[in-house]
Amino acid sequence: MMCGEMTKECASRECVKCKDKLATYAQAAERSSQLIKYHQWQKDEADKVEIASSVAEVFAHLKHKLRSFLTHVYIKRKQDAHMRMLKESADGTTILLQIDFSENA
Ligand SMILES: [Zn+2]
């Protein structure tokens, strides 16, 4: 669905090499009559519910969320690579702290 090495353009769906690859899967999703069951967390609740949808509906839902998800993945990978570089270059006088906080406010 994307280039092997994800770039910022791939993640933002602006890469000319991979931005249209999703269309291939959309056609297959539209042709399918299969129902898919999955669990989804409910907003503002700590519960997840089982949902049954057509392949086309699930595909449309995932496509809608794809750009923000890929941006999240791209940023995470960049941060991981930077953290790995800092660890490898650390000496006996270096302290690395990794602090994570939720964006789910
Ligand atoms: Zn790409």
Rounded CA-CA distance 53/62 in Å is 12
pLDDT in tens, 51-86: 999 999 999 998 899 889 999 999 999 999 999 999
Domain boundaries, the chain: 8-89
On average, the pLDDT of the chain sits at 89
Mean pLDDT of all residues in 23-31: 87
Measure 46 CA to ligand 1 centroid, in angstroms.
Answer: 35
pTM of this structure: 0.71
Measure 11 CA to ligand 1 centroid, in angstroms.
Answer: 8
Mean pLDDT of all residues in 19-43: 89
Q: Are 28 and 9 in contact (CB under 8 A)?
A: no
Measure 100 CA to ligand 1 centroid, in angstroms.
Answer: 28
Residue from 3, 1, 4, 7 nearest 73 by CA: 7
pLDDT of residue 15: 94
Rounded CA-CA distance 71/31 in Å is 29
Mean pLDDT of all residues in 76-99: 92
